[in-house]
Structure 1
């Protein structure tokens, strides 16, 4: 079954958002550098090897990097058969191109100088066709033919050593293997590290995200669980070839001895196993308790993207060639299944042939788009002004008999700060009464990037130090006036590339003489709220003496939420519930 050709190598994809990136990525990125040069060389070789040398009708086919070697072989045979169209010789030129990159080229979202125009396209998944057609230029250019050239189901994969150490595959796993323990995943003691191919760059990652969304559902609690999954997973490039999978496996060995788990295609698993017969991957087809769940598949559709009658005629000829038995045999020889789902047999030592496979229901374009948008919303960096209550109300017992509200707030704030990634911008105010002249609030740390240096320490470290040393005053609380000032500050300095918010940590009591009322605050917020400069208020109330109803109304007026906590560790739950509000459509309920 081994083809003897060098495995296809990944190209750089469409620019994505900044996320935590696995160390494995540093190794994988090195593979991508020579891709464009290799693609152009292989394309030129195909054309140059034919007898048609004068003014051919040239069809440029952009093909997913994993399938490109097989399609190149089919194109060589096609080019040698002297096909003609409009009195000219029809020739096929195959360009290896990462599917996300090709989609950006076709839909106009990412120009690719130096690459030839795409006349026909074979991405690794129909999901990319939906993405391209969601833009006006793509909707005009992309013409599906209904032909799928190949198939490759997706699998959960680990190194053999990690699978043996954790027994994660002792029974056939479901998608819950990728979840954190707190929302139904395996015990944290297993030490699994989920490496998720970036859904903005990888159909494998996007299909995985769809399955996770289906598994969790769409309730308020499910949105919080989905946010926990997104924040717990490490974003990587696609593990779609033996080189990238070798880097993945290496991270499970000494000295790290980690337990990474990822999702990759059956074809990539077979290619890796053939290259490493003495140490095959541990890989399983995921199953699901309900019918939509199971193993999604990469389906490699053949799509037309040219309006030229001559090139369309050549594309139709090549489409017929792709449906011939020879083409199916070449595709299966490279480890793919042909379009009818049939694959060549694999060695028993690989452990794939005896496994049951439960096909997942193919996602609709709207389901995939909604899921991808959820990922993008959760990935937007946050810009937060934290408003901490330093009034006398915080010096009262927390109700649990062990500490004051201020001590509980300090513990909760330290835990909460650790959850914010370095992409966060954050600042800190405290409030009680008359802290800055007659103003009830004062700035302790300006809003800015958490990792930025402020003197000898970072902003994150400065926030941590201040939080740990905050002491309540004996003054009353000017809560509502401070909230309004913080909201106006964040609205005036609004940054559209962030999710902008005011985080209020308070006992919920407003008793400062001369401060505005809750009703006045609500009226002012409703008057100045601007959907084009959206700033959410997220209020967290400690104890039970405050006016929680008023905080709920204030937060709701800005699209935010209010939460009561009686234990500092509840801040973890609040964090994910609050951030999952980004997934709400207008009017959806808070967790």
Structure 2
């Protein structure tokens, strides 16, 4: 995975859609040097633009019209620059267009963005990630080359209120891993009831919709890579997934709406925000394991005739040279990520340092969006709680029993998942006799938490009451295998394609194989029941020292789930959040 710096900059999406900026500019571009070749990706033109602008030229055939769909934040800078007609013989019709919407349009999977009328000659998205996604279809590959040429750059950073940035290390060492740990600490402070952008437990981490926001997508790629690297550590996998799920629960259409929280943004966007003199400026944190830059590649669509190719190439030359000062004044860096005195003037940025442009591995964007689609699906979960006698044991340092800890963490997770999540509750133990038969109590069926109940109140309120009423029951053995299979089969019967279907089992013991089946028999039955087209993941959240995590992970792996061991309510809350997906 090629990580990069954090970046992104674009005005609120509603502004983009309601006020598309369409610019018609006559540029002076010499036609005399025809046949100029396209430069390789990343090539920098040095001093060519000013020379071309100064040369006397004529346009006997009239200017060549080039239509361009451009990322809104870049279009807003180029509008006055190109209106001044700095180069002859090219007429540019420029439209500010949402990069993600344009990518879907060019891929043949979406409508044209507001203001875009047909296929443009030139496209400048905020990041090459959108170019990659647009080329994921045959239609996109037919229209678009694999690479573009960067005309500006802005590193993806983590934006945070100044006070919170200090807690995260300020201008010192900082990493995504550190942010994940701090955000998980906040979710683990379940009982504190703290609110706001930060509290004793850590910051609220949010994200602009990564299906439309380049910085959000860049950050998601890093987190997806972290998840892949934790393939052999189920506990870490669940923790990272819980972190991403927490971001998904604090999503906004654009970064502008996230001020006051901690979120991925572009350096340029923070510059623009702070330039407006807000009461609480944002600080930029530069992760050492940063994400892909916003590289603003200029792409000429395939099929251009010679006149348009020459005109577009000279437009590129000008944008990489003559337009650079105007772009720097608005907080962009040069394509190579070089230092900027304009950015350096903002004490909350590191504009005096090189922020070398970074690129993500090819294919990483699609993989990250697949993760996002999974985690933003509403949850459908059956919680299964062990109420055997050992769950009455106290958990050191918590002042709670194992059962009380489980109930409190589950209630906390319910609030974090929201009223549209669907949940149900079962309990299990065994009879207090030599046979030790498994006893399953189907306390509440799976239903949407916000759904009204016939007797009054909501299903969520009934779930909270049921958790509060849980009591341990004497039992001679643990009937884990019986209940795990029964719960899987129950969720399978009502499988919902629009939701993430999950079984979460909370227990402090291990099955002694003396009930209905052995572990091998359970694995065989699960393997026979699993349908890859109708996935149901089983997670076991274990307490105490009597659990066999190795065996439980072998069992849950059949379903794509995991078994994790936690000892306090915060850790358990994070585990429940992470039980939506660990892939």
Common fold: TM-score over 0.5: yes
Query: Are 1:374 and 2:371 an aligned pair?
Result: yes
Residue deviations 1:508-536 (CA, integer Å, cap 9, x gap): 56699984555544333222221111222
Confirm or deny: 8 A CA contact 1:408 1:567 kept in the other structure: no
- The 5 A counterparts of 1:107-506 are 107-112=107-112, 115-119=116-120, 120-144=122-146, 146-160=148-162, 168-169=169-170, 171=172, 173-175=174-176, 178-181=179-182, 189=200, 191-212=202-223, 218-219=229-230, 220=233, 222-233=236-247, 234-239=250-255, 244=256, 251=260, 260-276=261-277, 281-284=281-284, 286=286, 288=288, 293-294=289-290, 296-305=292-301, 307=303, 309-310=304-305, 313-324=307-318, 325-341=321-337, 345-346=341-342, 349-351=345-347, 352=349, 355-359=352-356, 361-390=358-387, 393-394=388-389, 398=393, 407-420=401-414, 421-422=417-418, 423-432=420-429, 440-454=439-453, 455-473=455-473, 479-506=480-507
Instruction: Report the equivalent of 1:66.
Output: 73
The residue correspondences of 1:571-582 to structure 2 (distance < 5 A) are 571-572=572-573, 574-575=575-576, 578-579=579-580, 582=581
DSSP 3-state at the match of 1:269: helix
Instruction: Count residues with an aligned counterpart.
Output: 513
Change (3 A) 1:237 1:178: farther
Q: Write the deviation string for residues 30-89 of structure 1: whole angstroms up to 9, x where unpaired.
A: xx1x533522xx426558xxxx9x999754311001001233345546698345xxxxxx
Q: Which has the higher contact order (CA 8 A, sep 6+)?
A: 2
Is the Cα–Cα contact under 8 Å of residues 183 and 204 in structure 2 kept in the other structure? Answer: no
What residue ranges of structure 1 are gaps of 5+ in the alignment? 1-6, 12-31, 84-90, 252-259, 585-591
Aligned mates of 1:232, 1:269 — CA distance in 2: 23
Q: Deviations over 1:193-243 (max 9, x none)?
A: 33322322211112233445667881225434422432444323433xxxx
Contact 1:125–1:298 under 8 Å retained in 2: yes
Q: Write the deviation string for residues 324-359 of structure 1: whole angstroms up to 9, x where unpaired.
A: 243334433443233354576328752357743443
Q: Distance in 2 between matches of 1:45 and 1:316?
A: 19
- Where do 5+ consecutive residues of structure 2 fail to align? 1-8, 27-58, 187-196, 432-436
The 1:553/1:355 distance shift into structure 2, 3 A limit, reads same
1:35 matched to 2:49? The reply is: no
Q: C-alpha distance in 2, partners of 1:134/1:201?
A: 16
SS for the counterpart of 2:129 is: helix
Deviation of 1:413 after TM superposition, in Å, equals 2.9
Could you list the per-position Cα deviations for residues 465-485 of structure 1 after superposition, in whole angstroms to 9, with x for gaps in the alignment?
112212345577765444333
**Which moved further from structure 2: 130-139 or 218-227?**
218-227
Q: Distance in 1 between matches of 2:376 and 2:325?
A: 42
Distance (Å, rounded) in 2 between the aligned partners of 1:266 and 1:554: 46
CA distance in 1 between partners of 2:124 and 2:240 (Å):
31
**Secondary structure at 2:156's aligned position in 1?**
strand
SS of equivalent to 2:262: strand
Q: State which drifts further: 531-540 or 113-122.
A: 113-122
State the Cα RMSD in Å. 4.3
Q: 1:81 aligns to what? A: 88
Aligned 8 A contact 1:388 1:504 in 2 = yes
* Corresponding residue SS for 1:323: helix
Closer/same/farther in 2, CA of residues 417 and 122 from structure 1, 3 Å limit: same
Q: Deviations over 1:440-486 (max 9, x none)?
A: 53432121222323243332221121122123455777654443332
Q: How far apart, in 2, do the equivalents of 1:440 and 1:287 lie? A: 51
Cα distance between partner residues in 1 of 2:512 and 2:351: 71
> 2:556–2:563: 8 Å Cα contact kept in structure 1?
yes
TM-score by length of 2: 0.73
